[in-house]
Chain A
């Protein structure tokens, strides 16, 4: 082979120097076969092949890609690995897991526990991050992981023993498992210095009140990741052989249909806790505590464990599962998902390359971890960053309530909508503004349940006002929530905002969508509520603000969703979209690029045609970025807005320029004008204190 490569290269070089040469006959007339042979059989680089074939490196690259597309080259994966992979995908889909890793079927070279340990050790390197607190349970598998794990470079990681300890004479005690893991990942170690099972409930309660043990449980409560095995209750399982639990008690759990043990707690086939004599005498993480942990990594394999693992999955104790192929298949079989054609799960291949030039960017760069986690991770950040203003309702980051807002005798204001509009809507929660916000997925309304939680939290007995933008999804979800709130004896009134004058003609004012002008409607509604006005009066003031707010947006470039990291559509190099909304949907008209002043004039002409302001009237102005347009350009727009207003002798009572209602990374801006009267002016100046807006 080496000789062949050398001679081929030599010949090729010579030919290339001599200019374009015909393809040697032995490859037929097919440059694809030639390129593929050199690449896959002779293991040459694409650069060398380019030289030999006398073509550019880019052409070699496209030959190789096309050869795969045309089936000239087939790349096959080792089948047992592939099946592991598809089992992992099935498990992930079927149980809605965050991730799933399946090691290939047993090759009889290593014990299963070692192989699972090795796989989990590798997975940990990916899953653990600096600053984590990892709760570690005990067992043979957990110890096998700790023995093989090595995650260098982590900072400020804490390992907390998830259960009390034991005097038992085996190698995989809770203490040892936790300390081995702490050693492997250079983490600070917190042991639980109490027995896992004590003789009476009184002793347990006394121990839990000890300051030292209390502080250890505080550390455990901070865990954001958990690592544990799953034990079956079969006679040869760890649970039996370890002597960890008394055998008398075990029988009682078995009699109550327990099928497995997770972190020292018994569960039945559906994953429900099984009550028994040890419950009050156990010191360690509870099932509820476990379920509240963000990343719950279970490592377990072996056919006898299938019912126990299935139960743990059904109970929601696991969201990352590491198992082996046989066990994984067994779990799926046991849950009745055998019959499905494997081909069904394979996505049809779509070849994008064919239509795209080689320098085409397929992805927009974004700061992401997992694109599916963007909303949750953002909300994590929001809740910490703005803890002074808002807090989660019942632990849910999707429903946030103002720390100082809801109070008896005041109408509650609930706002909300999809994410991707930050600082809308959660930035407007606080004293004098909204009392609660319901948060949906990107550009998607929150579900009724979330909105109802907000209504309950915001209610001070005087009714609740819903204010949100006019979109079919939001209207349906908020309406459903309003019906549910009525059943809870909360009177709800709704103002649907419709400030986007480009989205529908004047005759269809009610069909217009709500965009950045929400800012004014929220402000007015919040002030009316804060002043203790009646529900009727709050609703009326907000409706007036909506009727007198006029917004129009212009986009220069579309936005891209974190999941796709592609533009939803393209706006041509010399085009702009006029009448742009805030969801990345297209604008109403496409036009040629113009100067900033021309664009502002287009918008202001349209606003003036609807606003009917007389000289001397007062307005509030919002120049809002859609996300990627910088302040510099916003000020240029504002400058022209001010010129147009003052030319008509209309006074700007107040103005805001910046990011107030965005559309991810869209390049563009909107201009909103609120035509004030005395009442609206007072409400606009009413003090408020929120994360992004403070007045007074």
Chain B
């Protein structure tokens, strides 16, 4: 079985699904504090659907961009809600970014993070400081861009991405929500971490683990 880029991405989604599943109750509890307590369930449902759709692909003949495109529609159709359009748009932007050279170089990995963030921003019309998933995604992207600028290695890049996302998610505790259902709570949303930011960290950690693993094996052809 040859390892290729599509297979690595499929493994990435699989890892995300497992990690989200493991954190499902925690995410729902976070959501219960300021939202409607279903964030863990929704995210788990979405990534399960992504897995099921990816399992139907012949990964030996699938381009990395196609993996993201399939993930986008599977996630959207299964979830709806607000996370559906947000992550579906994120995956679609990542697919477009990968179409340039269809490989998973470090530059592409950084581009995936950046494109996903762009997609979420566009769809949600949100920004940093709104107490949303963007408070994890935006700093993660900045870290990725910085790491590329200083030509950091894969491990260093992903460490800085994850650290930035974690710090960003933690910072949502002291924010008042500006978007989503939590926005109607006003200052009652203070002190709670945004569940969307928390799940963003889980996703980025699973991405890091997947690409770190690839880094160790090195030189993976498409």
B77→A471 contact, CB < 8 A: no
From A2-10, A427-435, A520-528, A584-592, give the one contacting chain B: A584-592
Say yes or no for A328: interface residue by CB 8 A criterion: no
Give Cα A176–Cα B134 distance, bound, in whole angstroms. 61
Say yes or no for B109: interface residue by CB 8 A criterion: no
- Quick one: CB contact mask for B137-167 with A, threshold 8 Å, 1 for yes? 0000000000000000000000000000000
Task: Tell me which residues from 260 to 291 in chain A have a Cβ below 8 Å from any Cβ of chain B.
Answer: 269-271
Set A337, A440, A586, A588: member contacting B34, Cβ < 8 A: A586
Say yes or no for A651: interface residue by CB 8 A criterion: no
Set A269, A350, A442: member contacting B38, Cβ < 8 A: A442
Say yes or no for A344: interface residue by CB 8 A criterion: yes
B17 neighbours in A (Cβ, 8 Å): 93
Give Cα A346–Cα B21 distance, bound, in whole angstroms. 10
Say yes or no for A445: interface residue by CB 8 A criterion: yes
Give Cα A655–Cα B162 distance, bound, in whole angstroms. 56
Set B42, B80, B179, B182: member contacting A446, Cβ < 8 A: B80
How many positions in chain B have a CB within 8 Å of any CB in the partner chain? 55
B19 neighbours in A (Cβ, 8 Å): 344
From B52-60, B63-71, B93-101, B168-176, give the one contacting chain A: B52-60
Give Cα A271–Cα B57 distance, bound, in whole angstroms. 10
Task: Tell me which residues from 555 to 582 in chain A have a Cβ below 8 Å from any Cβ of chain B.
Answer: 561, 563-564, 568-569, 581
Closest to A663 in B: B36
In the complex, what's the smallest C-beta–C-beta distance from B75 to chain A, in angstroms?
9
Secondary structure at the A interface, as helix, strand, loop or mixed, is loop
A588 neighbours in B (Cβ, 8 Å): 184-186, 188
Say yes or no for B1: interface residue by CB 8 A criterion: yes
A340 neighbours in B (Cβ, 8 Å): 11, 14-15, 18
B186 neighbours in A (Cβ, 8 Å): 588
A585→B48 contact, CB < 8 A: no
B76→A314 contact, CB < 8 A: no
Say yes or no for B25: interface residue by CB 8 A criterion: yes
Say yes or no for B116: interface residue by CB 8 A criterion: no
Closest to A511 in B: B183
Give Cα A480–Cα B184 distance, bound, in whole angstroms. 24
Give Cα A574–Cα B140 distance, bound, in whole angstroms. 44
B25→A476 contact, CB < 8 A: no
Say yes or no for A583: interface residue by CB 8 A criterion: yes
A337-B14, A472-B124, A584-B37 known; A450-B85 Cβ under 8 A? no
B34→A450 contact, CB < 8 A: no
B82→A471 contact, CB < 8 A: yes
Q: How many A-B residue contacts, CB cutoff 8 Å? A: 154
Give Cα A271–Cα B1 distance, bound, in whole angstroms. 19
A314-B56, A344-B18 known; A472-B179 Cβ under 8 A? yes
In the complex, what's the smallest C-beta–C-beta distance from A37 to chain B, in angstroms?
34
In the complex, what's the smallest C-beta–C-beta distance from B178 to chain A, in angstroms?
10
Say yes or no for A503: interface residue by CB 8 A criterion: yes
Say yes or no for B181: interface residue by CB 8 A criterion: yes
Give Cα A471–Cα B14 distance, bound, in whole angstroms. 30
A449 neighbours in B (Cβ, 8 Å): 76-77
- Quick one: CB contact mask for A315-340 with B, threshold 8 Å, 1 for yes? 11000000000000000011111011
In the complex, what's the smallest C-beta–C-beta distance from A503 to chain B, in angstroms?
4
Say yes or no for A195: interface residue by CB 8 A criterion: no
Task: Tell me which residues from 75 to 104 in chain A have a Cβ below 8 Å from any Cβ of chain B.
Answer: 93-96
Give Cα A568–Cα B185 distance, bound, in whole angstroms. 15
Closest to B17 in A: A93
Say yes or no for A448: interface residue by CB 8 A criterion: yes
In the complex, what's the smallest C-beta–C-beta distance from A328 to chain B, in angstroms?
14
Task: Tell me which residues from 1 to 50 in chain B have a Cβ below 8 Å from any Cβ of chain A.
Answer: 1, 7, 10-11, 14-15, 17-19, 21-22, 25, 28, 32-38, 41-42, 45, 48-49
Give Cα A334–Cα B32 distance, bound, in whole angstroms. 40
Say yes or no for B198: interface residue by CB 8 A criterion: no
Give Cα A335–Cα B62 distance, bound, in whole angstroms. 14
Set B14, B36, B42, B179: member contacting A568, Cβ < 8 A: B36
A347-B21, A585-B184, A588-B186 known; A94-B84 Cβ under 8 A? no
Say yes or no for A148: interface residue by CB 8 A criterion: no
A450→B41 contact, CB < 8 A: no
A316 neighbours in B (Cβ, 8 Å): 56
B52→A95 contact, CB < 8 A: yes
Say yes or no for A489: interface residue by CB 8 A criterion: no
In the complex, what's the smallest C-beta–C-beta distance from B210 to chain A, in angstroms?
10
In the complex, what's the smallest C-beta–C-beta distance from B211 to chain A, in angstroms?
14
Say yes or no for A504: interface residue by CB 8 A criterion: yes
A347→B124 contact, CB < 8 A: no
B51→A269 contact, CB < 8 A: no
In the complex, what's the smallest C-beta–C-beta distance from B149 to chain A, in angstroms?
32
B37→A477 contact, CB < 8 A: no
Give Cα A511–Cα B179 distance, bound, in whole angstroms. 10
Set A333, A336, A345, A563: member contacting B10, Cβ < 8 A: A336
A447 neighbours in B (Cβ, 8 Å): 76-80, 84
A339 neighbours in B (Cβ, 8 Å): 11, 213
A94-B51, A446-B80, A477-B80 known; A585-B18 Cβ under 8 A? no
B82→A472 contact, CB < 8 A: yes
Closest to A445 in B: B80
Task: Tell me which residues from 371 to 399 in chain A have a Cβ below 8 Å from any Cβ of chain B.
Answer: none
In the complex, what's the smallest C-beta–C-beta distance from A330 to chain B, in angstroms?
12
A441-B79, A563-B41, A584-B36 known; A448-B85 Cβ under 8 A? yes
Interface residues of B (CB under 8 A from A): 1, 7, 10-11, 14-15, 17-19, 21-22, 25, 28, 32-38, 41-42, 45, 48-49, 51-53, 55-56, 58-59, 76-86, 123-124, 179-186, 188, 213
Jot down 21 A-B pairs with beta carbons below 8 A, ordered by A: A93-B14, A94-B14, A94-B51, A336-B1, A340-B15, A344-B15, A344-B22, A347-B22, A441-B81, A444-B80, A445-B80, A446-B80, A447-B78, A447-B84, A472-B179, A472-B181, A504-B184, A561-B37, A561-B38, A585-B184, A588-B185
The 6 closest A-B pairs by CB, nearest first: A96-B52, A473-B82, A444-B81, A568-B37, A476-B85, A583-B36
Q: A95-B52, A337-B14, A513-B184 are in contact. List 17 more A-B contacts (CB 8 A).
A: A94-B55, A96-B48, A96-B49, A336-B11, A336-B59, A344-B18, A441-B79, A445-B82, A446-B80, A447-B84, A473-B81, A476-B84, A476-B123, A476-B124, A569-B33, A585-B184, A586-B185
